[in-house]
Structure 1
Amino acid sequence: MLIDKILIGTTNKGKIREFRKLFEDLEIKVLTLEDMPEKINVVEDRETFLENALKKAKEYANFYKLPVITEDAGLEIELLNGYPGVYSARFYKIEFGGVENIGDGETKDEANIRKLLRLLKGKNNRKARFVSNIVFYTPEKFGLWTEGYLYGRIAEEPKGDKGFGYDPIFIPEGYIQTLAEFDLEEKNKISHRGEASYKLKKLLTKILK
């Protein structure tokens, strides 16, 4: 299979930065949705990470006529029966646990974190895991998918400024610092996205020969 370009199907700047680093050694031009002159909006309305990632991959590959890599990822909290899960990016505004308003000058990430810490206040069970499902899909309807996990616990308060999303309150198993205190290369070595990406790279290097 001859491929000289791959489109990363996201506008999330944190994800773009991590994906560019993860796939920089493939010797393929990596594009993102920000590079595309035309934009389409794909609604993530499925019930699982894989279904959301696959929906995005199919629609982007069909529209842009390029091989696409998409991801759906999120945080699952044991005490909250897996929430926020597929609602991770918009957890602040769903009814589960009560709607959390965004304050002046506050980001969605900060509102999500504030809501989650409120729900876990005083709780001993703070077990959590990050989940990543990544899909590679071509306009010719050839597809691959991989998954990655990172287990850990939720901190009592945010720490660090190097990550995004829930990174400031997630402490990986075996560590005392949050993901937001890791350098990018160190984070990619242990993260759910890193694991799923490394698995996909192994598959891609075989089919791209």
Structure 2
Amino acid sequence: MDKILIATTNKGKLREFRQIFAQTGIQILSLDDMPERVDVEEDGKTFMENAVKKAEGYGKFYKIPVIAEDSGLEVEALDGYPGVYSARFYEIDFGEKEPVKKDKDTANINKLLRLLANVKKREARFVSVAVFYNPYEEGLIAEGECRGKIALQPRGEKGFGYDPIFVPEGYTKTMAELEPEEKNRISHRGKAVKKLISMLSKVYSLPI
């Protein structure tokens, strides 16, 4: 196995996958590298459902090994929201929708901070489920989480998504203020993908 398709067009996610897989010798492809495009709808009610659906859908279509990852932010004060709606929280009618003035990430952050404006309990966690699917063999699943709290305002330029307002446990910096190597070491996605690589190494003898 010398190539794996990462089922995403998110440049931030793709960058992190390539950083984490750098020592394995495996070429990481994205959906933008595929000659023909097929869309798999993420309509699951859990991160697991979405990740499995994407991995199987793209794996069967392209006939190559695929890793699909679904992740999001769960805020205790909002009963676990945005959760599976993290990427499009701005458009979910949670009180009211948030206009997209700059980009979707900023709209999501603005909405979350508005909802937590007068909330002191700001505990939250990032959750990631990564699924490996090979059309000719059995699949693998790994999960990871990173607990922390929501900052009062965005800080940092190094991350994406909700990184500028998420402060991991034991840190004073937000995810977006951390260097990539440090973020990948503690992040939900980093943990899930490293677990997956460990599983893959036992099957395909990857150098890790």
Same fold (TM over 0.5): yes
1:114 to 104, 110, 113: 110
Q: Does 1:124 align with 2:120?
A: yes
Whole-Å separation in 2 of the counterparts to 1:4 and 1:118: 46
Q: How much does 1:97 deviate?
A: 3.0
Q: Does 1:204 align with 2:196?
A: no
Deviations 1:135-182 (A, max 9, x none): 000112520000000000000000000000000000000000100001
Name the TM-score, length of structure 1 as normaliser. Answer: 0.96
Q: Does 1:22 align with 2:20?
A: yes
Which position in structure 2 is the counterpart of 1:55? Answer: 53
3-state SS, counterpart of residue 39 of structure 1: coil
Q: Does 1:150 align with 2:146?
A: yes
3-state SS, counterpart of residue 69 of structure 1: strand
* CA RMSD, 1 decimal: 0.8
Whole-Å separation in 1 of the counterparts to 2:27 and 2:155: 35
Whole-Å separation in 2 of the counterparts to 1:45 and 1:89: 13
Whole-Å separation in 2 of the counterparts to 1:97 and 1:7: 38
The size of the alignment, in residue pairs, is: 205
Which position in structure 2 is the counterpart of 1:68? Answer: 66
3-state SS, counterpart of residue 143 of structure 2: strand
Whole-Å separation in 2 of the counterparts to 1:195 and 1:141: 24
2:83 to 85, 105, 108: 85
Name the TM-score, length of structure 2 as normaliser. Answer: 0.97
Deviations 1:12-60 (A, max 9, x none): 0000000001111111221111111111111110000010000000010
Q: How much does 1:93 deviate?
A: 0.2
Specify the code of the residue in structure 2 equivalent to 1:59.
G
Whole-Å separation in 2 of the counterparts to 1:122 and 1:141: 51
Long gaps (5+) in structure 2: none
Whole-Å separation in 1 of the counterparts to 2:37 and 2:8: 11
Q: How much does 1:113 deviate?
A: 0.2
Stretch of structure 1 that moved more, 26-35 or 76-85: 26-35
Runs of 4+ aligned structure 1 residues displaced above 4 Å come to none
Whole-Å separation in 1 of the counterparts to 2:74 and 2:137: 31
Whole-Å separation in 2 of the counterparts to 1:184 and 1:7: 22
Whole-Å separation in 2 of the counterparts to 1:146 and 1:78: 23
3-state SS, counterpart of residue 26 of structure 1: coil
Which position in structure 2 is the counterpart of 1:192? Answer: 188
Q: Does 1:138 align with 2:129?
A: no
Which position in structure 1 is the counterpart of 2:169? Answer: 173
Specify the code of the residue in structure 1 equivalent to 2:41.
V
Specify the code of the residue in structure 2 equivalent to 1:98.
E
Specify the code of the residue in structure 1 equivalent to 2:120.
N
3-state SS, counterpart of residue 165 of structure 1: coil
